[in-house]
Amino acid sequence: MFALGLIGVLVRRNIIFILISLEVMLNAAGLAFVVAGARWGQADGQVMFIFILVMAAAEVSVGLALVLRLYHQFKSLDADAASEMRG
């Protein structure tokens, strides 16, 4: 699933799909943590999954706010449009 998310990030040019792919990658990392925690019967894996969840929530809120600003700026959801950005 991590590989799928990585391919999604690399292939798609729509910003919404890039964010979805990031979610998939974070989810895969959390899945690996929980599997490892269940394998050894420890609670640490689930604790790390909760942290990943919190990070994903913060990341997606900021990312979607950025998407809204970018859409108002460029009237497009193409990630290549943002490469003309000048500081």
Partner 1 sequence: MEAVFYLAAAVAVVGTVVALTRLNAVHALLYLIVSLLGVAVVFYVMGAPFVAALEVIVYAGAIMVLFIFVVMMLNLGERATEIERTWLRPGMFIGPGVLAVILIGELVYLLAGTCGQNSAAGMVGPRDVGIALFGPYLIGVELASMLLLGGLVGAYHLGWGRPEAAGTESRHDIRADESRAVAGGDLVRAGADRGAGAP
| Residues binding partner 1 (CB under 8 A) | 1, 4-5, 7-8, 12, 14, 16-17, 19-21, 23-24, 27, 31, 34-35, 37-47, 49-51, 53-62, 64-69, 71-72, 77
Report angle CA 82, 8, 77 to the nearest 5 degrees: 30
As a whole number of angstroms, the distance between CA 77 and CA 62 comes to: 16
As a whole number of angstroms, the distance between CA 17 and CA 48 comes to: 25
Q: Whose Cβ is closer to partner 1: residue 12's or residue 81's?
A: 12
As a whole number of angstroms, the distance between CA 44 and CA 49 comes to: 9
Q: How far is the CB of 27 from partner 1 (least distance, A)?
A: 6
Q: Whose Cβ is closer to partner 1: residue 14's or residue 83's?
A: 14
